[in-house]
Amino acid sequence: MTERRPTQLELLHELEPVVEENLERHLKVAKEWMPHQYIPWSEGRDFDGPLGGEAWDPEQSRITEVGRTALVVNLLTEDNLPSYHHEIAKVFGRDGAWGTWVHRWTAEEGRHGIAIRDYLLTTRAVDPDALERARMVHMGQGFETKQDEDMLRSVAYVSFQELATRISHRNTGRFTDDPMCEALLARISTDENLHMVFYRNLLAASFQLSPNETMRAVTEVVKTFEMPGSTIDDFGRKSLQIALAGIYDLRIHHDDVISPVLRAWGVWDMEGLDADGEAAREELAEFMAKTDATATRFEEKRDKLRARMAATGQQPDSRAAQ
């Protein structure tokens, strides 16, 4: 007789105590911080327009070109917070510990977009008109998750996505050549890491409750993973520039995002899976091997590109070669 598997709703209820426990842990370790304290307000001045200030000029920015690209991508990704809130509220609900977490997460994430935008505009790091137009286009599209309101897949996705965002912010800060910007993004990265730990712990509990369904969810998410900013206009070119610099590329995604989270869940050593669970794990292993190979090919091509640039006197960012 086939063992009955819990429904998504049943799992949601069974995980409620785990959510409550991790919410309490999060509130104890999350330190209050003030976004306005990271902004050099004394550098601010009026822009052109109704106030008759000074128009923006690229020479006013002290941020590197690739730093500007990455900062804009990171900020536009954060801007779609209303859609993200809507998506997770649909899946997790607005009641009990789940609902408390949804609102707390949203409030913490809200600081990130506020702080980054205030910093960029105050320091004149990017073209403010282009930034606003890009925001309108990106938010006008909204965001719709590919997880089809599946609770397990949703938790699996954000476990990886929060860590990816943390690494992207942290590496972007280092590539800006601006210590104050780096300090701000490092602080934001701390939030993202705590969010990752919260979701990672929930999925670890899901593996205990429903290992086969959770393994399938993880496999499907890894195989179809896209960052929420992938709908940004001209994202392909921007993400390539970011990857070529070494801020976030497939090697980082494989080695520093997907692999450590999978190890934390113990997916490779897990016992007692049924045929479906084992099949999902085999698919996952095959996909990870292909991703590793693809990442290696990209690194080889990037090394050749950097060599050609150096030979022709075009010096790439020194950190990109690290």
What is the distance between the alpha carbons of residues 118 and 36, in angstroms, rounded to a whole number?
8
In 3D, which of 28, 17, 31 has the Cα closest to residue 201?
A: 17
Binding residues for Fe cation: 78, 109, 112, 162, 192, 195
Angle between helices 65-79 and 151-175 (to 10 degrees): 150
Backbone angles phi, psi at 54, to 5 degrees: -95, 130
What is the distance between the alpha carbons of residues 240 and 205, in angstroms, rounded to a whole number?
36
**Residue 223, Cβ neighbours under 10 Å: how many?**
14
Q: Are 40 and 181 in contact (CB under 8 A)?
A: no
Q: Are 147 and 154 in contact (CB under 8 A)?
A: yes
What is the distance between the alpha carbons of residues 36 and 266, in angstroms, rounded to a whole number?
40
One-letter identity of residue 116: I
Per DSSP (E only), the strands in 162-304 are: none
What is the distance between the alpha carbons of residues 44 and 37, in angstroms, rounded to a whole number?
14
What is the distance between the alpha carbons of residues 79 and 142, in angstroms, rounded to a whole number?
10
One-letter identity of residue 240: L
Binding residues: 78, 109, 112, 162, 192, 195
What is the distance between the alpha carbons of residues 22 and 4, in angstroms, rounded to a whole number?
28
